[in-house]
């Protein structure tokens, strides 16, 4: 995909499929229960797609969106249909501002039980600690490593054995 803006240059986005696991690395031991679904919210398509593929490989149904407003709408739709998301993976920034924090506050105000996982490129431990204090259940550093994702899932989501 090619995104261009007049006088701002061009951005090229290339999404490559994930290669099958090598024999040296076993497939994730974590597997979502049948029917589990999560919402992935990230302003960058490549991050959304990478996380979506990783979660699908672990047996989860995944809905993605790129905006905070879209995330809240999709979450409410899932509630109205009686099939709420098991959790939300939320980019803290969502653009140039920390709109993810606004989305977190809105979600937790209405649904305090929901597992909201921060996905961030912030590497400052004090910043990540403050995200946890605001109500995120965990904070994952982008780009996500398979081991960090599995540890997060094991700690915050129900699983089934294969």
Q: For residues 160 and 67, what is the distance between their CA atoms, to the nearest angstrom?
A: 31
Give the residue-averaged pLDDT of 39-64. 94
Mean pLDDT rounded to a whole number for the chain: 84
The pTM of this model reads 0.80
Beta strands in 51-137 (DSSP E): 61-65, 87-91, 115-120
What confidence tens digit (pLDDT) does each residue in 78-135 have? Answer: 999 999 998 999 999 887 777 899 999 999 999 999 999 999 988 888 988 999 999 9
Is the pLDDT at 162 greater than 80, yes or no? no
Q: Of 106, 100, 135, whose CA–CA distance to 121 is shortest?
A: 100
- 90 touches 75 (CB < 8 A): no
Residue 29 has what pLDDT?
62
Helix (H, G, I), strand (E, B) or coil at 16: coil
Tokens 């590497």 — which residue?
123
């Amino acid at each position: 995909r090619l995104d261009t803006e007049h006088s701002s240059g061009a951005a090229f986005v290339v999404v490559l499929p994930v290669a099958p696991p090598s024999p040296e690395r076993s497939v994730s031991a974590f597997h979502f229960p049948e029917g589990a679904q999560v919402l992935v919210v990230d302003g960058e398509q490549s991050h959304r797609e990478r996380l979506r593929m990783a979660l699908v490989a672990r047996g989860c149904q995944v809905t993605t969106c790129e905006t905070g407003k879209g995330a809240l709408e999709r979450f409410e739709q899932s509630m109205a249909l009686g099939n709420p998301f098991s959790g939300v993976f939320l980019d803290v920034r969502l653009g140039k501002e920390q709109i993810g924090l606004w989305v977190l506050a809105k979600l937790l105000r209405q649904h305090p039980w929901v597992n909201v996982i921060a996905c961030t490129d912030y590497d400052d431990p004090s910043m990540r600690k403050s995200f946890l204090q605001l109500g995120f259940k965990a904070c994952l550093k982008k780009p996500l490593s398979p081991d960090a994702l599995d540890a997060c899932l094991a700690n915050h989501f129900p699983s089934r054995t294969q």
